[in-house]
Amino acid sequence: MNTESVAVTPEEHFQDKVNREVKIEPRDWMPEKYRQTLIRQISQHAHSEIVGMLPEGNWITRAPSLRRKATLIAKVQDEAGHGLYLYSAAETLGISRAEMIDQLHSGKAKYSSIFNYPTLNWADIGAIGWLVDGAAIMNQVPLCRTSYGPYARAMVRICKEESFHQRQGFEILLTLSKGTEAQRRMCQDAINRWWWPSIMMFGPSDDASPHTAQSMKWKIKRISNDELRQKFVDVIAEQVKILGMTLPDEALAWNEARGHYDFGTINWEEFWNVISGNGPCNRERIAARIAAHEEGAWVREAASAFAEKQRQRSGGKDEKAVA
């Protein structure tokens, strides 16, 4: 068979691979916009993991038992790990970690808006696990099949850990829901405060997401924001019954004809306001990130000095091995 008779442009060859579900790898040719879209998306995702450690890390010392502390420490460490896989995946596209961290600290890069809300009491840790990690899983499971190889592979492990996070969150709320009247009130209050921000996590509705069509064509994205949001509402509207709690939405009702739950209108003004830096904790989160980065400078210096020493001891062998 003569495969050279049809001249294909690199762009067509790329799209053909995507269509055939062949993963795109770091050394493969890719359209510049594909590369930029992925850098933006993966680094945003990495930033969200790292910033997401802040509202929860806050509760490690105050978790009500040793078991709860150990579980929460493990969860917060998992999120750090997710950040690291994702920064590494983004680096394969030609951006350095230092550049990405700079973009986060200068406010140029975004992270998930949800982490700009405060964690006021212990029940919030349950609500975050159940709703925030729950929404994250809904978003991330389809990313295990995203077209860019390193991103897809990172997501497989991340999703396994996220499902553990969701269960531990639900279990915190389940325990509170079976507790005293005050604990039940805490549980309901946390659900009330986290519900709307968590369904905003799926991003603007499809008609207001200009990048969706292109991302779908490139198979970076496989399911639209509104479809994912609907799936999430359908799951949570059932699970909340097990807790004996309610979701703060009077319009929430099963729609037999659609086979889905109907739900109320999202306050998009709040969404855009928080995204553009005016949420309750935006400044506090970035200040905490910058302080952690500055205070960690000596660790990075020590690690580089140690690596250099090892390199000299091995007579530069390691360097040759990778060259």
Q: Which of 17, 45, 68, 82 binds Fe ion (CB under 5 A)?
A: 82
Q: Are 248 and 192 in contact (CB under 8 A)?
A: yes
**Which helix H or strand E contains 262, and what residues bound it?**
strand 260-262
**Which residues within the stretch 185-204 sit at the binding site for Fe ion (CB under 5 A)?**
none
Identity of the residue, 133 or 249, whose beta carbon is nearer to Fe ion in the bound complex: 133
How many beta carbons lie within 10 A of that of residue 261, not counting itself? 19
Region near Fe ion per CB under 5 A, out of 22-30, 129-137, 183-191, 289-297: 129-137
CA 49 to chain CA centroid, nearest Å: 6
Residue 136 beta carbon to Fe ion: minimum distance, rounded to whole angstroms: 6
Q: In the complex, what is the shortest distance from the CB of residue 152 to Fe ion, in angstroms, rounded to a whole number?
A: 16
Q: How near is the Cβ of 86 to Fe ion at its closest, in Å?
A: 9
- The residue range among 3-11, 126-134, 225-233, 256-264 that interacts with Fe ion, by the rule CB under 5 A, is 126-134
For residue 56, state whether it binds Fe ion (rule: CB under 5 A): no
47 makes contact with Fe ion (CB under 5 A): no
Q: Contact region for Fe ion (CB under 5 A) — 10-18, 79-87, 255-263, 288-296? A: 79-87
Q: Which is nearer to Fe ion, 154 or 275 (CB)?
A: 154
With beta carbons less than 8 A apart as the criterion, state whether 85 and 155 touch. Answer: no
Q: Is 165 in the site for Fe ion (CB under 5 A)?
A: yes
Contact criterion met (CB below 8 Å) for 123 and 176: yes
Question: How many residues bind Fe ion, per CB under 5 A?
Answer: 6
Select from 56, 79, 124, 249 the one that contacts Fe ion (CB under 5 A).
Answer: 79
Residue with tokens 């952690």: 292
What Å distances lie between residue 277 and 112, 201, 284, 313, CA to CA? 11, 16, 11, 48
Least CB distance from residue 319 to Fe ion, whole Å?
A: 34
Decide whether 292 or 303 has the Cβ nearer to Fe ion: 292
**C-alpha 233 chain-centroid distance:** 18
Q: How far is the CB of 79 from Fe ion (least distance, A)?
A: 5
Task: Give the residue from 256, 263, 320, 72 showing the smallest Cα distance to 172.
Answer: 72
Q: In b/e form, how buried is each residue of 133-147, taking b as 16+ CB within 10 angstroms?
A: bbbbbbbbbbbbebb
Residues that bind Fe ion (CB under 5 A): 49, 79, 82, 133, 162, 165
